Amino acid sequence: MSSSLRSLLPDIGRILQALAGMMLLSIVMPLLWGELFAIPGLLISAAITYALGFLSLRYGTRRSVDKLHGMMVAALGWLLVAVLGSLPFLTIAWTAALAPAWAGTFDTPTLAAFRHPLNGVFESMSGFTGTGLTMSVHENVLPRTIQWWRSFTEWVGGVGVIVLTTAILARPGSGSLTLYESEARSDKIHPSIVSTVRTIWWIFLVFTLVATLLLWLVGMPIWDAINHAMTGLSTGGFSITDNSLASYQEPLIEFAMIPIMIAGSIAFPIHYLLLSGDFRSVARDLQTRWVAIYFSAGSIALIGLLLHFNTYGTSFQSLRYGLFQFISAASCTGFQTADIGGQWSVLSQLTLSAGMFVGAAAGSTVGGIKLIRLLTLAKGMIRRISDVFYPESAIRRFEIDGRTLTDTEVSKELEEASIIALLGIVLLSVGITGLLLLVSLDVYTLENVVFEVASAQGNVGLSTGITGPEMPSTAKLLLMFNMWVGRLEFIPVLVLLRALIYGGSP
Amino acid sequence: MSSVIATIVSLLTQLVPTDLSSVSFLSWAGDRDPIYDLLILTGPLVIVLISVVGRMWLTTGLAIGYLLVFVGHLLHSIVTS
């Protein structure tokens, strides 16, 4: 094994141990619900994951953490978490089929789909990346333990696997900042990175409890409220009902979910300022202001399109579905209340696709290329055009998010935003082309395919019906790749692939 | 109504230790606002109570109270900041 790969092992080992901890913690669920057949599955999964983590720590060689190392750990760590996070799906699907009657059998065709390992890996990748595309045909008949595991993966994945590991296992000064930044995060709440990630969890817990009780008060059963609060706040979008939130047919629940999804779309440092009462700083924050503008403008546009094409009979229905679906798409949550693929016009579908591609605030739980990059690109473009009208000797300031940037910083910011946006478009195109070759175009249209790939890459989870256990394995692998690169904002995955092909040398 | 909520919050705050860092998770999470710490401590208890006894006036009242404390404290923090 090459030395650069061995140097990744200690950090990978800690991530796997944190994952094993999640599995052990989940044993509470089968005990509470009397699903004894699920206990061996969780124990086996935790044992395998912990053993691999232990071996990684034992045989890895520690070295200083630089950017290359951080990106490779993030990319490989997320991939392994998705693969090993599928073990509970696989093992529980088998133990449910093989368990004696006294252990509470729960075998259904929906659960049986997870006996195919690829379906479990897809579900796990979708969960940890906070996407929400699913291999479950009827989520409501899944065992509670599996329902919980799906929600738990999204809840943890929303904040970040490395954030979890850093919060639990990191020591100050152990290179946590580099790893933290490799997981598509940059802003810190406190000077210490360990303290920052622990505060992120503290904020996340407060909001999850509040969201759970809010959803229960508007009519959800408490188990549903717990799961949907976890998956709504993490902007993941897994549901435990057969037909996502459409199952409830209750506008009040949909309207209550909107502030929860919006909360997930705002950066954690901003939440911290808000909880501390510093509303002035929150109102001044560029990203938060633009999230408000973007969500409002997008919702109004979508409602307008639904009204224009007379998709629904009444204005209230257009308002209800347009508002909910745009927030759900742009926040990259993916809860679905409308028959988008079957009932909506092409223009409405493409408006949602654009919302999914962009995403909301960087530093939150959302996917997409992020609003701040779009703003940087737009400002950079305007600057380049207006530059022509000024004399060459003119000194012009470039301000973004309250920071005045030097020329070098402007170039760096623009370059990063351009690269991310371009990679987003390139990988989206690759996904669309691949899926077009793999699905039947007699059943699905081009806009359906664009929508599905944008949904996977933006970690949204809205579906036009293409995703399911019956889709070709290659298509599953393709969408999993889009979810993986989308969650880590492309570059870490490409760095890992480059290092695997050409080695770690420059 | 707001004075009743303020009294309840004040009573609840007095019921828990002044130094909430003695509770291990809160100590782990660092030095934070005591009201939010209190919400983290009591939230799971309210949810467990709801799971056990279901939807009734007591649990509905507790859930409403919980949300009012959260929103009230948030607004209070913003106003006094």
What span, in angstroms and rounded, lies between the C-alpha atoms of A97 and A366? 36
SS (H, E, C) A64-99: CCCHHHHHHHHHHHHHHHHHHCCHHHHHHHHHHHHC
Residues A174, A194 share a domain? no
Asked if the model's pLDDT at residue A435 lies above 90, the reply is yes
What pLDDT score was predicted for residue A68?
79
**What pLDDT, on a 0 to 100 scale, did the predictor assign at position A324?**
94
Residue in B29, B47, B77 closest to A201 by CB: B29
Tokens coding A119 = 């379906």
Residue A484 located in a structural domain: no
Q: Is residue A370 a part of any domain in this protein?
A: yes
Stronger pLDDT, A434 or A504, i.e. the higher one: A434
Q: Are residues A86 and A194 in the same domain?
A: no
Cα–Cα distance between A162 and A146 in angstroms, integer?
23
More confident residue, A22 or A186: A22
Tell me whether residues B74 and A274 touch, CB distance under 8 A.
Answer: yes
**A299 beta partners:** none
The answer for A403, left when phi > 0, alpha when psi is -120 to 50, beta otherwise, is: beta
Residues A270, A371, single domain; the answer is yes
pLDDT class for A295, splitting at 50, 70, 90?
very high
Top residue of B28, B37, B58, B68 to mutate, by most chain A CBs within 10 Å, is: B28
Specify whether A263 is located in the same domain as A297.
Answer: yes
Question: Does A170 have pLDDT greater than 60?
Answer: no
Number of domains in chain A: 2
Q: Cβ contact (<8 Å) for A275 and B36? A: yes
B16 token code pair: 């828990």
Tokens of A17: 């141990």
Q: Is residue A503 part of a domain?
A: no
Is B46 in contact with A213 (Cβ distance < 8 A)? yes
pLDDT of res. A442: 80
* One domain, residues A143 and A225: no
Average pLDDT value for residue range A169-181: 54
Q: CA-CA distance, A328 to A307, in Å (whole number)? A: 19
pLDDT confidence of residue B19: 47
Q: Is the pLDDT of residue A355 over 80?
A: yes
Beta bridge partners of A242: A244
Instruction: Give residue ranges of B with CB < 8 Å to any A CB.
Output: 28-30, 32-33, 36, 39-40, 43-44, 46-47, 50-51, 55, 60, 63-64, 66-67, 70, 74, 76-81
A323/A250 same-domain check:
yes
Do A176 and A191 have their domain in common?
no
Distance in angstroms (rounded) separating the CA atoms of residues A304 and A311: 10
- DSSP element (H, E) containing A41: helix A38-59
Q: Is residue A506 part of a domain?
A: no
Same domain, A258 and A404: yes
CA distance A222 to A216: 6
| Residue A325 near residue A348 (C-beta atoms within 8 A) | no
CB A234 within 8 A of CB A303: no
Query: Residue A400 pairs with which residues in a beta bridge?
Result: A403
Query: If DSSP codes are grouped into helix, strand and coil, which group holds residue A390?
Result: coil
Domain span holding position A152: 1-180
pLDDT of residue B17: 46
Same domain, A69 and A5: yes
DSSP letter assigned to residue A464: S
Q: Region A160-176: what's the mean pLDDT?
A: 56
Domain shared by A296 and A434, yes or no: yes
Whether the pLDDT of residue A236 is over 50: the answer is yes
Tokens at B11, concatenated: 């009573």
Task: Report the complex ipTM.
Answer: 0.83
Kindly identify which residue of chain B lies nearest to residue A225, measuring between CA atoms: B47
pLDDT band at residue A349, thresholds of 50, 70 and 90? confident
What is the helix (H) or strand (E) element at residue A269, kind and residue range? helix A268-275
Mutation target for B interface from A194, A196, A213, A227: give the one with most B CBs within 10 A: A213
Mean of the per-residue pLDDT values of chain A: 86
Higher pLDDT, A105 or A216: A216
Cα torsion angle, A31, A32, A38, A42, sign: negative
Length of chain A: 506
Scan for tokens 């920071």, then name that residue: A403
Residue with tokens 């990319």: A75
Please state, in angstroms and as integers, the Cα–Cα distance from residue B38 to each residue in A87, A265, A279, B21, following that order.
36, 25, 22, 11
Side chain identity at residue A271, one-letter code: H
Tell me what pLDDT residue B18 has.
Answer: 47
Query: What does the alpha-carbon distance between residue A451 and residue A439 come to, in Å, rounded to a whole number?
Result: 14
Quick check: A216 contacting B, CB < 8 Å?
yes
Total residues belonging to chain B: 81
Q: Which residue does chain A place closest to B77, by CA atoms?
A: A277
Q: Is residue A483 part of a domain?
A: no
Distances A365 to A125, A130, A346, B37 between C-alpha atoms, Å: 15, 8, 28, 23
- For A140, residues 6+ apart whose C-beta sits below 8 A from its C-beta are A240, A241, A242, A247
Option in B40, B63, B70 nearest A205 (CB): B40
Question: In this structure, are A83 and A117 located in the same domain?
Answer: yes
Ranges of residues in chain B with a pLDDT under 50 are 1, 12, 15-22
Whether residues A372 and A456 share a domain: the answer is yes
- Between the CA of residue A41 and those of A47, A91, A138, A504, what are the distances in Å? 10, 5, 21, 37
Question: For residue A369, what are its two tokens?
Answer: 């290329």
Q: Mean pLDDT throughout A105-127? A: 91
% of chain B at pLDDT higher than 70: 60
Comparison of pLDDT for B1 and A362, the residue scoring more: A362
Q: Does residue A481 lie in a domain region? A: no
Residue A422 is inside which H or E element, if any? helix A407-438
What pLDDT, in 10s, does the model give residues A190-208? 666 677 777 888 888 999 9
Quick check: A460 and A367 in contact, CB under 8 A? yes
Q: Reply yes or no on whether the pLDDT at A376 is more than 60.
A: yes
Answer yes or no: is pLDDT of A506 > 90. no
